[in-house]
Amino acid sequence: MADALLTLEGVHTHIGRYHILQGVDIDVPKGTLTVLLGRNGAGKTTALRTIMGLWKPSRGRIIFDGTEIGGRSTPDIAREGIAYVPEGMGVFADLTVEENLILAARDGPIDTARLDWIFGFFPTMKRFYAHPAGVLSGGQKQMLSIARAIIEPRTLILVDEPAKGLAPSIVENLIRAFQELKRTGTTILLVEQNFRFASMLGDTVAVMDDGRIVHRGTMAALANDDAMRTRLLGLSLETH
């Protein structure tokens, strides 16, 4: 297995009086797509938000590219080279698609070659480039949210349930986009409940339950072992 780009060691997170993450250990190998699976309420989103600094870990270490980032501010963590695609997509509805991307390209003007590359796997985005993001459909917003995360090269991309509620044709688009990103060597940590989507993309997998990691391994091994998958994931995950 490649060197870990991101490591969580015994990470605990409290939100108010709730103890959500209860000692999470994950390695995200460099240049791979790691899928974080688990039922609703297992703590997957909290794990991503804790990595991003949106919630502070109460205990444990988060090491990114050899640097401890646990407890640092969100902007500092983002500037280390981590991009975040939240579950709600987080697009700025009052801004146009172009303006959303301008803000995401914080190092300067948008690189037109990179934009064309993004248009390659999200061709419809070119047509609504000048539109306010608020008028877009869910799938179009998801495209924008991912485009915003990759408009400049980032070392690690955290993606929270990108396929949730989207039409199959849009999900196909997303699969192609992530496959393309993988080809560029980008490291991705993907939270997902759609097992088909996850299994088509994942290299490694971690399964969460009740705020802990209960399984780590390769996606191929999990996909090929029905009994283990049923035991770990139950019936709540979408397998179609």
Residue 71 binding other proteins, by CB under 8 A: no
> Contact 218/2 with Cβ under 8 angstroms?
no
Alpha-carbon distances, residue 164 vs 23, 37, 84, 142, 161 (angstroms): 27, 13, 16, 10, 6
Residue 117 binding other proteins, by CB under 8 A: yes
Work out how close the CB of 118 gets to other proteins at its nearest, in angstroms, rounded to a whole number: 8
Q: Enter the tokens of residue 71.
A: 């407890």
Residue 67 binding other proteins, by CB under 8 A: no
Q: Tell me how far apart the alpha carbons of residues 133 and 149 are, in angstroms, rounded to a whole number.
A: 15
Q: Enter the tokens of residue 150.
A: 């990759």
Residue 162 binding other proteins, by CB under 8 A: no
Work out how close the CB of 220 gets to other proteins at its nearest, in angstroms, rounded to a whole number: 23
Please name the residues in contact with 166: beta carbons below 8 A apart, sequence gap of 6 or more. 138, 139, 142, 174
Count of residues touching other proteins (by CB under 8 A): 47
Using CB under 8 A as the binding rule, the residues of this chain from 196 to 225 that contact other proteins are none
> Contact 62/233 with Cβ under 8 angstroms?
no
Residue 102 binding other proteins, by CB under 8 A: yes
Q: Tell me how far apart the alpha carbons of residues 92 and 100 are, in angstroms, rounded to a whole number.
A: 6
Work out how close the CB of 133 gets to other proteins at its nearest, in angstroms, rounded to a whole number: 9
Give the interface with other proteins as residue ranges (CB under 8 A): 52, 54, 73-75, 78-79, 84, 86, 88, 90, 92-95, 99-100, 102-104, 106, 113-114, 117, 120-121, 123-124, 127-128, 131-132, 134-137, 139-140, 148, 169-170, 172-173, 176, 180, 183-184
